[in-house]
Amino acid sequence: MLANSRLPTSAQTAIHEHLATLLDRHVGSVFRKPYADYNRAACAASLERRERVAPNSPLILDSCCGVGESSIALARAFPDHYVIGVDQSESRLSRNTGGKSELPPNLDLVRADLVDYWRLLHDAGIRLERHYLLYPNPWPKIGQLSRRWHGHPVFPIMLELGGVLECRSNWPIYIEEFCFAAERLTQCPAECQPYVPDQALTPFERKYFSSGHSLFRAIVQLP
């Protein structure tokens, strides 16, 4: 990737003025979007694989894993954990499947839409040890609040998966909003911190860092 990435541009200069109202609406109503069959199948298959390979291992979820580089690094860094990387893009995921035989045994890369996958994990009673959400699409325009994960109706359910939740972005307002939303819904402290990686964990982190962007992260210890 080239080191000439542009920073997200937005007319928004602080936490979105409608975020609190949106969160309260999402908490006060049940999100009923029907599950797509392919997500049901993907989730069931991934839970079966986990049951076969590492039934009692603590689970790490790498949501929006892209090409799965971070998932592979996490599986190597936590050999006693089982890592599931999820992305909706088959073409991104398949960039790693060529060398699948070399993938760590405690790793699974899954193609699914997280709007369903998170809810299906929740329905299955799954609890996470760690949860990574690295460089999600920022959707920085003012009118795109509901496209950001913390503005989406699935966000309260995603938080219920628990564990240590880490989100990173090159748009500080995304992380500030993420912290605001996580704190409002869980009462767990969350703080937007500047972040300088020793070594890039993902291709987007590498691209943004080598383009000279400041990076930010939130780490929330969920109940």
Q: Does 134 help bind ligand SAM (rule: CB under 6 A)?
A: yes
If one asks whether residue 197 binds ligand SAM (CB under 6 A), the answer comes out as no
Is 65 a binder of ligand SAM (CB under 6 A)? yes
Q: By rule CB under 6 A, what count of residues binds ligand SAM? A: 19
Among 73, 205, 218, 220, binds ligand SAM (CB under 6 A): 205
Q: Is 147 in the site for ligand SAM (CB under 6 A)?
A: no
CA–CA–CA angle 16, 86, 198 (5° rounding): 75
Residue 55 C-beta: closest distance to ligand SAM, Å: 25
Give the span between the Cα atoms of 215 and 201, in whole angstroms.
12
Judge whether 88 and 39 are in contact, CB under 8 Å. Answer: no
Residue with smaller CB distance to ligand SAM, 40 or 92: 92
Sheet holding 59-63, edge to edge: 107-111, 82-87, 59-63, 130-134, 164-169, 215-221, 193-195
Interaction with ligand SAM in 79-108: which residues (CB under 6 A)? 86-89, 92
Cβ-proximal residue to ligand SAM, closest one: 66
User: How many other CB atoms sit within 10 Å of the CB of residue 53?
Assistant: 13
Token readout for 153 is 């109706």
Binding site for ligand SAM (CB under 6 A): 64-66, 86-89, 92, 113-115, 134-137, 202-205
